[in-house]
Each structure stands twice: as structure tokens, then as C-alpha cells.
Amino acid sequence: WLLVWGSATYALVPLTSGAWGEGRLGPVVSVALLPWAAHAALGFADPAADRRWRAAWRLGLLLALLTAFTPTAWLVAALLTGVVVTVVVLVLPGAARDRSTWLPPLTALLVPLALLAPWWVGSLRRGAAEALLLDPGRLPAAEPSGLQLLAGRLTDTGAPWWLGLVLVVLALLALVPRPTRAAVLLVWVVALVAVLVALALSVVRLELVVGTAAPGVAAPLAVLAGALVTA
């Protein structure tokens, strides 16, 4: 019953966030792709080096798709990779000398840059770097407040904000049982990384031909919602 509840809750994110009702394609696709990318990332914890490399290529391709629909997904992945690799090196100093520990995650980050080079290089050359932070589809991008983002809402057309906070409370209560506390703490680290990226993007304003717009925060919202459900 727990898996059914969690799956249904996460599947409703595009609807409850308001992305589905407003026709925002990026968040809808990202929510669908994110579980596959997260599953691929778990391969980095495999003790076999060849499996870690396989995980790198799988995650790289999925991250390229995520970045194509929600460009800020790459920022979340980059920050999360930096945090995880740093923690692993600090806890296991010998891991820094094993290239199969840190090189696969780095490769997964470089794959989207290579596959999407015609887009981002062209945008930079044409002076349209703002496009690298915009979600595709409807403009301007949604500008949720901190409380709305925590509650999983992009726009006012989503579910009531207090309904999303129920998930936050349940994720906090998940820290109580000692047998699973370490795993839940790890998931909360992922959630905090998504929040940090969203906060950083919230202070940025993009000057477009049609006016001023905010960067897309669909990717951090999807990661945050997925982390809370997992916790």
C-alpha cells in the first residue's frame, strides 16, 4: 500500500502543481523522466566498476532529455553530483584515487553538454543565453513563492498549498524511525539541493524581447517532490 500511495502521489505532481492545467510541457515531461534518471543514478553505488560506467551512460542520456525539457535540471544534477562526490571522498579518502568512483558521475554530466551542444553553443553565439534557463512552452515562466515551491505548486491553478504541506510533514516524520533514518537523511540532502537551486534561480531576472521573465524552476520542483515522496 505504501508503494501505491507514493506512486499515485508522485504521478499527480503535474496536476497538483498546476503545470498540466496551464499546458507547461517542461514540468510534465520532467516529472515523467525523473524516476528513470534517479534509478540510473543508483548504479553509481554498485561495487562493480563496469556497472558504474553503464549507469553513467544511462544517466547521461536521460539527463540530456531532462535538460532539453527543463534546462535547470542540469544545474540540480551538477550541484548534487558535487555534494555526493565530496562526501564520498571525505568519508572514504581512498576513493579519490579510484577514477571509477568519480569519473562516471562526471561523465554523466558531460553527456548532456555534448548532445545538446548545437542548442547551448548556438544560444551563446547569438546572444540568447537566457534560453538556457527557460522552460519550454508557455512564457513567462511560473514564479512560485518559497512556500508554494515547498508545497509542490508552480501556479495558482494547482491544488491548495496546504495540501502539499502534508507531504512535507510526512517526510519529516520519516526521520523518526531509526532503522531507515540514514536513508531518509540522504534523500533530504537531495531535497535541500533542489531547494538551494530554486532559491538561487529566484533572484535571477532574464531580459527577453517580450519583457522580463524568471528562470524555470520546474526541475527543482520535480526533484523536491520526488525526494519528499521517497522520504
Instruction: For 213, list phi and psi in degrees, rounded to 5.
Output: -140, 160
Question: Over the stretch 72-105, which tens digit does the pLDDT of each residue have?
Answer: 999 999 999 999 888 887 877 777 777 888 899 9
**Amino acid, single-letter form, for residue 81:** T
CB neighbour list of residue 40: distance below 8 Å, 6 or more residues apart: 55, 58, 59, 62
Q: Residue 117: how many CB atoms within 10 A of its CB?
A: 10
- In the DSSP assignment, the letter for residue 158 is S
Predicted model pTM:
0.89
- Asked if pLDDT for residue 32 goes beyond 90, the answer is yes
Question: Over the stretch 139-182, which tens digit does the pLDDT of each residue have?
Answer: 777 777 778 888 888 877 778 878 888 999 999 999 999 999 99
